[in-house]
Each structure stands twice: as structure tokens, then as C-alpha cells.
């Protein structure tokens, strides 16, 4: 791709020129927020929704973003264009900024804003065809009164520890539960099961991130005649589901075919999961904010 260009604190610059202070509270304490965004076919997918979620996260942690939502969105588009990408994964990071070695965020005068546009492939193509084996994690998602999962913060240690466990268990992904024992998420994905033709996914209040891919899949499913229910379910119900699939900006839509050594359904990607992946990819390829508005992208 040549020199990777990044937006950093108001300036587009080469990756090698980006300098983040060792006193940045994002680095020292995970004090900040981020969004992972996709571009398909020359369009940034669901950009307004991602920016809205970013500002909601910022409000909750009392972090003032130094741009309006529309200007922030424009900087995202500019970063993708600066890297001449039609299909991209975009990471928008805002930390509290440089302060001192103390915790007090009031010592941080100016947030650090970084936008990266690159490519990502979370899973090999073979797993989209064959499906993911899962395992349930001993790690629990924090409850909303501890660290609200609806805030997309830089503190991802909970998910990282579950990923470490995934490596130890020999599976690519884990499912996590909340303190009540209900399935809530993967390490970076929302979870759906299929039961008697209906899609079931945990409700937001159970302690999950309000996934943008998740909400898109819910809308597409309902528009195509599927019943969708947002309700709690346990590992027992996941084991005995007809199908299971995960959704996320990086993962898109991917079937899960087993959990803890138990086959889900017939142990192969099911018709609903395949259909939802097809519908989602078709929709994502056709909708979004133009990166190159005066250029026809084939």
C-alpha cells in the first residue's frame, strides 16, 4: 500500500511521523474511546451511526471531542482517501491525551485524536465457509455498574484475557457470559442463535455493546420476514440452538458450528447464517458515505 497515512491531532501525516506522548492517559490507563469502522466499495459503512456511538461513549466518560460530529466524520473519509483505499478497516481512537502520572483526567489538556485506515481479516476465508468452533470463557463481562459495556472504551483487557483463554483452548473465539450466567458476547462480536426459525440475541440491558452490525442484521432479518427477539439465553440454549452466528464490524457475519465440543445444529453453517451473511454483505457493498464522490468505483 506504500506509505500509510494517518490523521493525527488535526494533521494528515505518515505513520512514521506519528508521536504519542508516553504520558498519554490512553497509553497509561486505557482512558479513551474508539470505533472500528468499515469501508466497502468506496463507501464508509454506517459512518453516522459510528460517529454517534463515539460521541455517546465520550459523553459518558466526560471526554470532550475537539471536533463536531460532521467534522469528525469528514476526517474519517479524508483518511481513507489519503490511503487510496476502496475497502478498508478504519480505527478511530480518541484518548484523554497527555497528562501526568496521576489518574486525574483534569491534568490532560487536550485529547489525542488518531484515525488509521488499513485492511483487516479477522478470520481466514475457510472459517466463513466451515464455521467457527467456540468455547465458553471463564472470564465474565463486567456489569454496567462496574464498566459499562455500552461504552466502547480503550480498556479491552476483559476481552484480551478471553482471547488468551481461546488460544489455550485451541479455538478462534470465545463466548462470554455476564454475572447472571447469560451469554452476552464474543470477545469483540455480538451473538445470535437461531431457534425454530427465529433469531434470538441478548438485549442491550444484559450488558452488551450496541453493535452496529448487530442492528443492521436485525433490520435486514425483519425486512426479510424473520422473527427477531432480544432476550437472554444460557449456554444450554446455545448448545441446543439450531444455529449460531456472530456479528461485528471486523467479523461481519460468521457462523459458529460448535461450542465447548458440542455441535450446534448439524455442526455446519446453517441456512439462516448463510442468508444473513449474504444479505449483510450485499447491503454493505451498496450503502455508505462516498469516499470519492466524483469517481465511479467498480
CATH number for 48: 3.30.470.10
Q: Assess if residue 297 is contained within a domain.
A: no
Contacts of 105 (CB under 8 A, 6+ apart): 25, 31, 62, 63, 96, 99
Q: Assess if residue 289 is contained within a domain.
A: no
Q: What's 256's domain CATH number? A: 3.20.10.10
Is there a single domain that holds both residue 104 and residue 205?
A: no
Q: Assess if residue 204 is contained within a domain.
A: yes
Is there a single domain that holds both residue 190 and residue 253?
A: yes
Is there a single domain that holds both residue 208 and residue 242?
A: yes
Last residue of a domain, which of 57, 83, 118? 118
Positions marked active-site: 152
Q: Assess if residue 173 is contained within a domain.
A: yes
pLDDT in tens, the chain (298 residues): 579 999 999 999 999 999 999 999 999 999 999 999 999 999 999 999 999 999 999 999 999 999 999 999 999 999 999 999 999 999 999 999 999 999 999 999 999 999 999 998 889 999 999 999 999 999 999 988 898 999 999 999 999 999 999 999 999 999 999 999 999 999 999 999 999 999 999 999 998 999 999 999 999 999 999 999 999 999 999 999 999 999 999 999 999 999 999 999 999 999 999 999 999 999 999 999 999 987 655 4
Q: What is the pTM of this model?
A: 0.95
Is there a single domain that holds both residue 167 and residue 185?
A: yes
Number of domains in the chain: 2
Is there a single domain that holds both residue 108 and residue 131?
A: no
Q: Which domain holds residue 22?
A: 5-118
Amino acid at each position: 500500500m506504500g506509505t500509510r497515512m494517518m490523521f493525527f491531532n488535526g494533521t494528515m501525516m505518515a505513520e512514521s511521523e506519528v508521536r504519542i506522548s508516553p504520558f498519554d492517559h490512553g497509553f497509561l490507563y486505557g482512558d479513551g474511546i474508539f470505533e472500528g469502522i468499515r469501508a466497502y466499495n468506496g463507501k464508509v459503512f454506517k459512518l453516522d451511526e459510528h460517529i454517534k456511538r463515539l460521541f455517546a461513549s465520550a459523553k459518558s466518560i466526560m471526554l470532550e471531542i475537539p471536533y463536531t460530529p460532521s467534522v469528525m466524520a469528514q476526517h474519517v473519509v479524508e483518511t481513507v482517501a489519503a490511503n487510496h483505499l476502496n475497502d478498508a478497516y478504519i480505527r478511530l481512537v480518541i484518548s484523554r491525551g497527555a497528562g501526568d502520572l496521576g489518574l486525574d483526567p483534569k491534568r490532560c489538556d487536550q485529547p489525542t485524536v488518531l484515525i488509521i485506515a488499513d485492511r483487516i481479516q479477522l478470520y481466514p476465508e475457510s472459517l466463513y465457509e466451515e464455521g467457527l468452533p467456540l468455547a465458553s470463557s471463564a472470564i465474565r463481562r463486567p456489569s454496567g455498574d462496574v464498566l459499562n459495556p455500552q461504552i466502547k472504551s480503550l480498556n479491552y483487557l476483559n476481552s484480551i484475557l478471553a482471547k488468551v483463554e481461546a488460544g489455550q483452548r485451541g479455538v478462534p473465539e470465545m463466548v462470554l457470559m455476564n454475572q447472571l450466567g447469560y451469554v452476552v458476547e464474543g470477545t469483540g462480536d455480538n451473538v445470535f442463535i437461531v431457534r425454530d426459525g427465529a433469531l434470538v440475541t441478548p438485549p442491550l440491558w444484559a450488558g452488551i455493546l450496541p453493535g452496529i452490525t448487530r442492528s443492521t442484521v436485525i433490520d435486514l432479518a425483519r425486512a426479510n420476514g424473520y422473527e427477531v427477539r432480544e432476550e437472554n439465553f444460557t449456554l444450554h440454549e446455545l448448545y441446543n440452538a439450531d444455529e449460531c452466528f456472530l456479528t461485528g464490524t471486523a467479523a461481519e457475519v460468521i457462523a459458529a458450528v460448535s461450542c465447548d465440543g458440542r455441535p450446534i445444529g448439524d455442526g455446519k453453517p446453517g441456512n439462516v447464517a448463510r442468508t444473513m451473511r449474504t444479505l449483510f454483505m450485499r447491503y454493505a457493498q451498496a450503502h455508505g458515505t462516498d469516499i470519492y464522490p466524483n469517481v465511479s468505483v467498480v
